[in-house]
Amino acid sequence: MTNKLSHVLVTNMTYTENHPKFKWRLAWYEAMVFPRILKQTNQNFDIAVKYNPIHDELFKKISDRIITFHEKPIVDERPEYKKWDFFTNYIKWKDIEGLDMYDIQTYLSSDDLVSPEYIQRVKDEVAKNLDTSLHINFQPKLFDLWNLDVKEMRKKYSSGSASGFLSLYQPDKTNYVFIREDDHKRMAKHARKSITIPEGYCWISIHGANDSSTMNI
C-alpha cells in the first residue's frame, strides 16, 4: 500500500557560490551520503536537493535521479525565518519552487548517513498509520570520520525534542507543511501522531566542519 504513496527524500545544499564549506560538503555527499541513498532496499522514492541555482550543473553531474529545487528569493526580513550566512534554515511551503507535494517527506542532512533499510522503515510505520498525519523521529548514533568510531548519543530524542532524522506523512494536503518549515526538534507538532524509532538506522557524521554536532553530544 505504501508504495502507492508518493515519497521524497529531501536534502538541503543551499550555499553561496564560494562558501568555504560547500566544496567539502558536496564531495562528502557524493562519496558517502548519496551512495547509501541509492542502496536503499526500497527504491520507491524520489531524491530532491534544495540548492543554489548557480550550482545546478554540479548536481546534474551526480545523478539524473536528483530533483533540484530552491526557495523563492527572500526580499524582506521575515521574523518566521532563521537566516544563516549561506541559506534560510527554515522555509515554508509557499516559498518553495520546483518541488511537488508528496504524501511522505523524509529529511536527511547533506553529511549524515543512513542504513539500507531506512526508507523501508519509514514506509512500514506509515503503513500502520495511513489514516492520520504522522511524524517519524529516528534516534541516531554518532560516526566519527577521523577514527571511524561509532558510539551512542548521550541525548535521547523524543517527540517533544525530535532528531534531525525525520519523516512527515500528510494524507491531507490542505495545510501542507514542508519538512524543513521548523526546527527538527519541533516538527512533531505538525502531525497528529509522532513515533520514535530506536538506533540502528542512521548516524550523525562528526567531521570537524559541523555546524553544531560533536562527539560529545
Report the amino acid identity of residue 50: K
Q: Which residues contact 78 (CB under 8 A, 6 or more apart)?
A: none
Query: Among 108, 116, 110, 111, which Cα is nearest to 138's?
Result: 108
With the C-alpha atoms ordered 67, 27, 93, 178, is the resulting torsion angle positive or negative?
Answer: positive
The DSSP annotation for 32-45 comes to IIHHHHHT-S---S
Highest mean pLDDT among 59-63, 156-160, 192-196: 192-196
* Mean pLDDT value of segment 141-169: 87
Quote the percentage of the chain above a pLDDT of 90: 56
pLDDT computed for residue 167 by the predictor = 97
Which residue spans within the chain are E strands per DSSP? 7-13, 46-51, 66-71, 96-97, 104-107, 113-114, 134-138, 141-144, 150-152, 166-169, 193-197, 202-206
- Per-residue pLDDT band for 215 (boundaries 50, 70, 90) equals very low
Q: Would you state the cell numbers that stand for residue 163, as one nine-digit string?
A: 532528531
Domain ranges of the chain: 2-206
Q: Which CATH superfamily is domain 2-206 in?
A: Spore Coat Polysaccharide Biosynthesis Protein SpsA; Chain A (3.90.550.10)
> Average pLDDT of the chain?
86
Instruction: Find the range with the poorest average confidence among 80-84, 123-127, 158-162.
Output: 80-84
CA distance 45 to 48: 10
Residue 25 has pLDDT above 90, yes or no: no
